[in-house]
Copies of this chain bind each other. A is one copy, B any other.
Amino acid sequence: MVKKVKAALIIIGDEILSGRTHDANLNYLAKWAGGMGIVLDEVRVIPDIAERIQVAVNECRNTFDYVFTTGGIGPTHDDITSENVARAFGVDLLLHDEARGLLEESLGTKDLSEARLRMAMIPDGAELIKNPVSGAPGFMLGNVFVLAGIPVVMQSMLLDVENKVSGGSKVVSKSIHVFEGESHFAAILTEVEDTFEHLTIGSYPFYKAGSYGASFVVRSPIENDVDKAIELLGQKIKDRGSEFFDGEAPE
């Protein structure tokens, strides 16, 4: 039985949309989710605007099994994620004693400034997500996981998220490559893909050091089907007089 668990990622931040900052969280989280048996099924990048955050959170939490957000949980005026996740759920944003304690511990102070206290304001009913890097926690509310935007912090929070999610069937992926244009193989790819349920084949052209070709990536939650499809694909490539290569994909 194939069990699909699907997630959305909401990246919150003007700095990504203006091009000032390169997002590094999408790719990391995509691979992490794959390893957990969670299919990342949509990503949205939205600005630091209250209503946009609320709408995106509510649309995604009603559509996907899990929702991850990154960004906007720091101490300054443009950090408005927590309050708008609270609003999306219709709950209050409260000073959270445990979060306050974590901040005081990490900052080595018994007297937090008003700005830093913002980072201890957590929606009512949420469960904290540990931040071993810089103390200020994320949180889980319903099926929504609110994480930091700074990649090293976001990555450290995922370690704690692993205790809070249940993945489905893991997708297995294998690929073979040809050094000819992908268009020659279009019919073959369709045939092989149509032979197996739950199986997809992606075709990704590459140009590398003067030679070009394509990688065919076969993916399915049923590992045996992936092996059979790779074999069938290889046979069909040979049958038309072409060669294929396996191993690491050319970039």
Where the two chains meet, the residues of A that have a C-beta atom closer than 8 Å to any C-beta of B are: 11, 14-23, 26-28, 30-31, 33-34, 39-48, 52, 74-79, 113-116, 118, 150, 171, 173, 181-187, 189-190, 193, 200-205, 217, 219
Contact A200 B34 (CB under 8 A): no
Contact A44 B47 (CB under 8 A): no
Most chain B Cβ neighbours within 10 Å, of A39, A171, A203, A219: A203
Complex A-B, nearest 6 residue pairs according to Cβ-Cβ distance, in ascending order: A19-B30, A115-B186, A75-B183, A19-B31, A43-B45, A115-B183
Q: How far is it, in angstroms, between the C-alpha of A18 and the C-alpha of B40 when the chains are bound?
A: 7
User: What is the interface of chain A mostly: helix, strand, loop, or mixed?
Assistant: mixed
Contact B45 A17 (CB under 8 A): no
Q: How far is it, in angstroms, between the C-alpha of A45 and the C-alpha of B46 when the chains are bound?
A: 12
A201 (CB) vs chain B CBs: closest residue: B78
A45 (CB) vs chain B CBs: closest residue: B43
Contact B77 A193 (CB under 8 A): yes
A23 (CB) vs chain B CBs: closest residue: B26
By a CB distance below 8 angstroms, the chain B residues around A41 are 17, 47
Q: A17-B43, A43-B45 are in contact. Are A78 and B200 (CB under 8 A)?
A: yes
Contact A187 B115 (CB under 8 A): yes
By a CB distance below 8 angstroms, the chain B residues around A33 are 19
Contact of A75 among B79, B115, B186, B219 (CB under 8 A): B186
Q: List 28 A-B contacts (CB under 8 A).
A: A14-B200, A14-B219, A15-B202, A16-B26, A17-B40, A17-B41, A18-B171, A19-B28, A20-B217, A22-B27, A23-B26, A23-B27, A42-B45, A43-B45, A48-B202, A75-B181, A76-B183, A76-B190, A77-B189, A77-B190, A77-B193, A78-B202, A113-B184, A114-B186, A115-B184, A115-B186, A118-B186, A150-B205
